[in-house]
Structures are given as structure tokens and as C-alpha cells.
């Protein structure tokens, strides 16, 4: 079958080439130059302009009908506002598209070249200038202002009793942290990131371990330097001294963390002890305002939740955030769609590496009671590390990615 199609295409191309040759020959027989264009040629081109306009408009309308409704049902409070904004934009773009293209093709048809006809020339028209400056200007301002109002609704400060959730991205998964009963996140810091514990949460044991490791490195370099540096290049000695300086600075930053208060006069460690960290899926309560705070370990990812009409870049070193209120539970949405396997998802929407396509996490929207029951079942951070972090297991990775603290303090 494929061979047959290929054969038809090849034969078609040959036929067109032969036809072109025939027309070329007849022209030369009739002693007509190639660049001489007859009235019939112009009329034909004008007519083809109209034909193409119809095909062009027809295929555009077809695409609108087939693919126009591309977003899933909205399931958040601001979802309706985002959809309205999108609709208004699409309507305006569609009107402009049809008007401009109609004029383009219709005028090409109407004013095809005729010898006796002269074009009217005028060099300036104030009214015309006004029309094509003011109409796009006002339309654009409307889109921008309306868009900003909607955007501000999603990014303005969350209510005091809003649920705060931290979403942490790295190649190639999502980790979600709940602040625990005190509603204060434990401090996370890039100095505390290790190959197995990527969130960089601060604990007394990790502080001691990191400081011991740094002290060890400094001692080793000093030992090397004391063995005599006369035969070594000066640049090497300088680079070692520089390394000592950087290690000492790193150590001081870790020591500062000990003193840092995370809020309510809690130490960084006390605040984080009851944090809950989950992977694979996370739950949120329906009809409650949720403030999402995003951090990233390695590159820019983008947290995209299509049903909630939200998307936010997660940027190493710069915490980002927005708020939203889910309005339909997973169970209700399954009933609505008649699909028992339906799940809300958070997807990565920034091409971030080889496994980007599979960087996703399931979201379950529960009613308040089910949400609380689920949260209670999740282990607190302190319980988790007692279980799976044998003493001395933390390996400093030397990761130099700068990550801001969840509370806005950046290091």
C-alpha cells in the first residue's frame, strides 16, 4: 500500500514536470516570453485567491470545531475566570483573523492588474491613522488589564488560615511538604542538601555531620600545605587557601542556621520536626484556599495543574507561589466524567531533561474529613528520619545549587 502511494506521488511529480515543459514549449512556439503575463493569467490568479481564502477559512473553522475545546473541565475557583479570559482572547483574535484575511484575499481578487486602471495615491490620512492605532491600542490594553486583574487574584497574599503546601521539584520528580500542626515549615537550606536527602531540611544531627565533614576537609588541606609548598606552583597554594576560605564560609552559614528562628520563636529544627513529606501522590481539601510554595533543586521546572488552571515555574534559588481553591473532589469529578480511573495530575510543563515526559504527581482532592484522615496517616519528618536515616548516613554532596529558604530567606 505504502509502495503504491509512493508510486502515485512520484508519477504525479513527473506528470506536473511534463505539463510544465509542454506549456513552456507552446509559449516559445507562440513567441511569448515567460515574463509576459496575460489578462487571463491575472484573472486566474485573482480567482485562485478567492478559492484559497475559502479553503483557508474552512480548514481554520474545522480546527476550531475539532480541537477548540482542548482544556479539561475546570475544578478551581479561579478556573472560570481564567477560562473567560481565554475565551475573550480567542474571540478577539478570531475576529481580527477573519477580517484581516478576508480583506487581504478579497482585495487581491478585486484589484488584479488591468492595463487601463490607475491606483489612487495619497500619502497621508489622519482618520485612517487614528483608526488603525486606536482600535488595536484599546483592544491590547483591555486584554492586558483584564489579564493582570485575573493574575493578581491568583498571586495576591493568601488568607491567614489558608493551607500552605510546599512543592519541591528536581529531575525528575515532585516532593510535597506539609507544614505540620504548627503550620510553620521547617527551614530547608541548600547547605543541607545531600545525595539521598534532597530537600535539605535542617536537623541537629545533619548540622553536626556537615560541620564535621567541612572541618575534616579543612584539616586535610592544611596538612598538605604544612608539608612544604616550596616546590609547588604559587597558583596551587593560592587555590588551596581560597578553598579553605570558602569552606569556612560554608561552615559559618551552617552555624547561622542553628540560630535562625523559623517563626513563633521556634528553632529551624523544632519547626521542621512535624513537617510531613510525601511523594507519588498528595491530597488537598476541597473548598479550602491553598497556598502553593515552589522550590527547585536543579533546573527550572513548571508545575502545571490543567484542571485547576494553574501553572508556575519552579526556579532554583527563587521561591515562587500562588494560591487556589479546588472546588470539585476527585470522587465528584470521577462521577461527573463517568470515569473511575480519573485522577488530577500535576505535570512538569518545562522541558527539563530526558525523563521530563514522565515528571508528574497524582493529586487527590478530598473532602475535609478524608483529607485530615489521610494527613494523619503520613509520617512526620522526625518519625521518618528515625526510621530510615541511620546515624552518619548523610553524605555531603557539595551541591552548589543555591536554594532559597521556604520562608523567603535566601542563601
Nearest residue to 186 (alpha-carbon basis) of 197, 195, 196: 197
Estimate the crossing angle of helix 126-155 against helix 79-110, to 10 degrees: 160
Stretch that binds Cu ion, among 52-60, 85-93, 219-227, 342-350 (CB under 5 A): 342-350
- DSSP assignment of 225-283 equals HHT--TTS-HHHHHHHHHHHHHHHHHHHHHHHHHH-EEETTEEHHHHHHT-EEEESEEE
The C-alpha cell of 99 is what? 477580517
**In whole angstroms, how close is the CB of 170 to Cu ion at the nearest point?**
8
Stretch that binds Cu ion, among 194-202, 321-329, 334-342, 352-360 (CB under 5 A): 352-360
Q: How far is CA 315 from CA 54, 149, 171, 294, in A?
A: 46, 24, 13, 8
CB closer to Cu ion, 293 vs 359: 359
CB closer to Cu ion, 303 vs 394: 303
* CB-CB contact of 73 with 336 (8 Å): yes
Name beta bridge partners: 266: 263
CB closer to Cu ion, 207 vs 303: 303
Give the residue, chosen from 188, 193, 348, 363, that forms a contact with Cu ion under the rule CB under 5 A. Answer: 348
**In whole angstroms, how close is the CB of 271 to Cu ion at the nearest point?**
28
Does 251 bind Cu ion (CB under 5 A)? Our answer is no
**In whole angstroms, how close is the CB of 362 to Cu ion at the nearest point?**
16
Stretch that binds Cu ion, among 136-144, 200-208, 341-349, 400-408 (CB under 5 A): 341-349
CB closer to Cu ion, 13 vs 351: 351
Over the window 104 to 133, marking each residue x when it contacts Cu ion by CB under 5 A and - when it does not, the resulting string is ------------------------------
Instruction: Give phi and psi for 30, each to the nearest 5.
Output: -85, 0
Stretch that binds Cu ion, among 176-184, 193-201, 272-280, 358-366 (CB under 5 A): 358-366
**In whole angstroms, how close is the CB of 351 to Cu ion at the nearest point?**
8
Over the window 284 to 313, marking each residue x when it contacts Cu ion by CB under 5 A and - when it does not, the resulting string is -----------------x------------
CB closer to Cu ion, 184 vs 346: 346
CB closer to Cu ion, 207 vs 352: 352
CB closer to Cu ion, 352 vs 404: 352
Instruction: Give phi and psi for 407, each to the nearest 5.
Output: -90, 10
* CB half-sphere exposure, 59, CA atoms < 13 A: 5
Nearest residue to 208 (alpha-carbon basis) of 173, 266, 274, 255: 255
**In whole angstroms, how close is the CB of 280 to Cu ion at the nearest point?**
16
Give the residue, chosen from 202, 347, 352, 394, that forms a contact with Cu ion under the rule CB under 5 A. Answer: 352
CB closer to Cu ion, 184 vs 347: 347
Give the residue, chosen from 359, 361, 363, 375, that forms a contact with Cu ion under the rule CB under 5 A. Answer: 359
Name beta bridge partners: 174: 169
**In whole angstroms, how close is the CB of 319 to Cu ion at the nearest point?**
17
Cα maximum dimension of the chain:
99
Strands 301-305 and 276-279, by their bridges, are unpaired
CB closer to Cu ion, 258 vs 356: 356
The C-alpha cell of 230 is what? 616550596
Task: Name every residue whose Cβ is closer than 8 Å to that of residue 202 and which is 6 or more positions away in sequence.
Answer: 186, 187, 188, 189, 192, 257, 268, 269, 272
Sites of contact with Cu ion (CB under 5 A): 301, 348, 352, 359
Amino acid at each position: 500500500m505504502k509502495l503504491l502511494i509512493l508510486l502515485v506521488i512520484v508519477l504525479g511529480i513527473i506528470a506536473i514536470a511534463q505539463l510544465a515543459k509542454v506549456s513552456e514549449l507552446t509559449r516559445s512556439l507562440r513567441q511569448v516570453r515567460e515574463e509576459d503575463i496575460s489578462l487571463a493569467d491575472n484573472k486566474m490568479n485573482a480567482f485562485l485567491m478567492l478559492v484559497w481564502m475559502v479553503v483557508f477559512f474552512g480548514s481554520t473553522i474545522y480546527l476550531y470545531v475539532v480541537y477548540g475545546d482542548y482544556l479539561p473541565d475546570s475544578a478551581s475557583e479561579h478556573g472560570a475566570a481564567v477560562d473567560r479570559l481565554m475565551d475573550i482572547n480567542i474571540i478577539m483574535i478570531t475576529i481580527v483573523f477573519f477580517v484581516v484575511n478576508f480583506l487581504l484575499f478579497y482585495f487581491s481578487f478585486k484589484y488584479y492588474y488591468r492595463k487601463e486602471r490607475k491606483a489612487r495615491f495619497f500619502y497621508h490620512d489622519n482618520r485612517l491613522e487614528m483608526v488603525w492605532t486606536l482600535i488595536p491600542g484599546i483592544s491590547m490594553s483591555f486584554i492586558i488589564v483584564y489579564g493582570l486583574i485575573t493574575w493578581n487574584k491568583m498571586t495576591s497574599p493568601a488568607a491567614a488560615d489558608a493551607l500552605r503546601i510546599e512543592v519541591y521539584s528536581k529531575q525528575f520528580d515532585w516532593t510535597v511538604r506539609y507544614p505540620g500542626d504548627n503550620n510553620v515549615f521547617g527551614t530547608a537550606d541548600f547547605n543541607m542538601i545531600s545525595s539521598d536527602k534532597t530537600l535539605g531540611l535542617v536537623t541537629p544531627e545533619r548540622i553536626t555531620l556537615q560541620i564535621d565533614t567541612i572541618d575534616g576537609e579543612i584539616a586535610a588541606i592544611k596538612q598538605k600545605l604544612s608539608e612544604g609548598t616550596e616546590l609547588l606552583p604559587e597558583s596551587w597554594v593560592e587555590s588551596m587557601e581560597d578553598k579553605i576560605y570558602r569552606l569556612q564560609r560554608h561552615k559559618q552559614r551552617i552555624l547561622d542556621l542553628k540560630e535562625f528562628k523559623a517563626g513563633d520563636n521556634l528553632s529551624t529544627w523544632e519547626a521542621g520536626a512535624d513537617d510531613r513529606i510525601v511523594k507519588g501522590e498528595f491530597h488537598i481539601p476541597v473548598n479550602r484556599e491553598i497556598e502553593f510554595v515552589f522550590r527547585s533543586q536543579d533546573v527550572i521546572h513548571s508545575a502545571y495543574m490543567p484542571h485547576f488552571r494553574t501553572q508556575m515555574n519552579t526556579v532554583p534559588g527563587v521561591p515562587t507561589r500562588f494560591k487556589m481553591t479546588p472546588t470539585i473532589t476527585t470522587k465528584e469529578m470521577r462521577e461527573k466524567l463517568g470515569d473511575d480511573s480519573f485522577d488530577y495530575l500535576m505535570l512538569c510543563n518545562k522541558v527539563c531533561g530526558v525523563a521530563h515526559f514522565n515528571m508528574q504527581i497524582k493529586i487527590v482532592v478530598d473532602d475535609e474529613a478524608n483529607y485530615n484522615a489521610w494527613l494523619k496517616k503520613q509520617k512526620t519528618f522526625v518519625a521518618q528520619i528515625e526510621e530510615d536515616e541511620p546515624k552518619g548516613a548523610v553524605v555531603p554532596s557539595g551541591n552548589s545549587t543555591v536554594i532559597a529558604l521556604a520562608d523567603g530567606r535566601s542563601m
